[in-house]
Amino acid sequence: MITAGAKPVGAADEAQAARAVQQMFDSIAPRYDLLNHVLSANVDRYWWNKTARQFKAVLADPDAAVLDICCGTGDMTMALLKQRPRGARPIIAADFARGMLSRGAKKFSYEHEDKPYAVALEADALHLPLRTASLDLVVTAFGFRNLANYEAGLREFARVLKPGGQLGILDFAEPGGLLGKAYAVYFRRVLPGIGRLICGKDGPYSYLPASVEKFPPPAQMLEMMRVNGYAECAWKPYTFGIAGLYTGLRSSGE
Ligand SMILES: C[S@@+](CC[C@H](N)C(=O)[O-])C[C@H]1O[C@@H](n2cnc3c(N)ncnc32)[C@H](O)[C@@H]1O
């Protein structure tokens, strides 16, 4: 069976793919932050902050309802919180891997005076326990690529967004040209080796390059967004196209 999303080795269908992804993230959760910063030389922090700044206007509205889906250990959430005013409505930070989410919650769920904070929600991105047309902004960082069905993910985000609500998907991409070739060597050969060394497991960091390879390129992803409920779809490459941010507005009248 062909899955329309992530497919870790051995997963026969979408349910198995989702379970494998969940177990994998739970298993690497204790080392996730360290690995992330080592493997990206801290560039990930720059990407999270740049993404959050992209949504500055909506985040500045204290009543805006915001979801960070696939929040993991919460660094995207923390970047979003920096753009929230004091006393703002809490961000909903959701993930289906409890090991990742509980680490995130330690960073973002403080309730201290009127400092902006987030609430942790254990939930599957493809079946969000949230009301239809209830959100102003949905953001996901390095999570979308792991969904077992990309189109189902886009439709579910469109369901929970208000018409005109904004979507931001930050994820890896495959740069072209000479840089792309050099990066491919790092990504496919060096990175899995470092990952294995730090977390003592083979699977997760071999899965990473495989999942990026399977992820649709920008033109295809933008078309998928258009047919699944979004207007004004755009892709902005970050750091020579190693990563990039997809943005779109929930179309009205669908
Ligand atoms: C690579 S981590 C990214 C975490 C964080 N957003 C960041 O930027 O570091 C991907 C996260 O997506 C979560 N995830 C993958 N598929 C999911 C799904 N269907 N529902 C909820 N979370 C999911 C995983 O559990 C994992 O925590």
DSSP letter assigned to residue 251: P
Residue 187 is predicted with a pLDDT of 77
142 Cα–ligand 1 center, Å = 7
7 Cα–ligand 1 center, Å = 14
71 Cα–ligand 1 center, Å = 6
Band (pLDDT 50/70/90 cuts) for residue 183 is: confident
38-63 burial, b at 16+ Cβ within 10 Å, e below that, comes to ebbeeebeebbbbbbebbeebbeeee
The finding on whether 146 has its CB within 6 A of some atom of ligand 1 is yes
- The better pLDDT of the pair 211, 45 is held by 45
Residue 237 is predicted with a pLDDT of 96
Q: Which of 44, 46, 70 to mutate to test the pocket of ligand 1 (most atoms within 8 A of CB)?
A: 70
- The better pLDDT of the pair 200, 63 is held by 63
Determine the Cα–Cα distance for residues 245 and 241; give it in Å rounded to an integer.
10
Q: How many CA atoms lie within 13 A of 74 on its CB side?
A: 25
Most trustworthy range by pLDDT among 38-52, 155-169, 208-222: 155-169
Q: Which of 37, 146, 172 to mutate to test the pocket of ligand 1 (most atoms within 8 A of CB)?
A: 146
pLDDT at 8 over 60: yes
162 Cα–ligand 1 center, Å = 23
Q: Please state, for a pLDDT cut of 90, what percent of the chain lies above it.
A: 66
- Is the backbone of residue 133 left (phi > 0), alpha (psi -120 to 50) or beta? left
Residue showing tokens 């899995």: 192
Mean pLDDT of the chain: 91
The finding on whether 143 has its CB within 6 A of some atom of ligand 1 is yes
What the block records as the tokens of 45 is: 């922090």
The finding on whether 142 has its CB within 6 A of some atom of ligand 1 is yes
The residue contributing the CA closest to ligand 1 atom 23 is 70
pLDDT at 2 over 50: no
pLDDT single digits (tens) 49-100: 999 999 999 999 999 999 999 999 999 999 999 999 999 999 999 999 999 9
pLDDT at 197 over 90: no
Residue 203 is predicted with a pLDDT of 64
> For the residues 179-190, what does the mean pLDDT come to?
82
The finding on whether 141 has its CB within 6 A of some atom of ligand 1 is yes
The finding on whether 76 has its CB within 6 A of some atom of ligand 1 is yes
The residue contributing the CA closest to ligand 1 atom 25 is 97
pLDDT single digits (tens) 131-178: 999 999 999 999 999 999 999 999 999 999 999 999 999 999 988 888
- The better pLDDT of the pair 113, 176 is held by 176
If one counts every other C-beta atom within 10 angstroms of the C-beta of residue 142, the result is: 22
The finding on whether 96 has its CB within 6 A of some atom of ligand 1 is yes
Residue 110 is predicted with a pLDDT of 80
Band (pLDDT 50/70/90 cuts) for residue 245 is: very high
pLDDT at 1 over 50: no
